[in-house]
A = this chain, B = another copy of it.
Amino acid sequence: MSWLPNLKTETAEEGFELAIKLSRMAVKKTQPDDATRTKLRDDYANSADSLTLASQVVATNFQTVAAANDYWR
């Protein structure tokens, strides 16, 4: 089964979760090693700017998911 068959979600909150998933999946595709990603996670989860950059990626993906769902209007 596909991890991303489409971009449809029931609510805006689920759409936000999907945006987070997309952001992490792009990282996983570049660094597939789970142990390395876990180690790096400790780094950026304790850096203000790293968290802000991560939030920027989520915001960009949320634009896509929101448009795909016609903004849950």
Contacts and interface: CB of A to CB of B under 8 A. Distances in A.
Contacts of A3: 13
B11 A5 contact: yes
Interface residues of chain A: helix, strand, loop or mixed (majority): helix
Given A40-B48, A52-B50, A63-B64, A13 B2 contact: yes
Interface in A12-65: 12-13, 16, 20, 22-27, 29-31, 36, 40-41, 43-64
Interface residues of A, number: 52
26 contacts: A2-B13, A4-B16, A5-B13, A7-B12, A16-B26, A20-B29, A23-B55, A23-B59, A26-B55, A26-B58, A27-B51, A30-B44, A30-B55, A31-B51, A40-B46, A40-B47, A41-B48, A43-B48, A49-B50, A49-B53, A52-B53, A52-B57, A59-B60, A59-B61, A59-B64, A67-B71
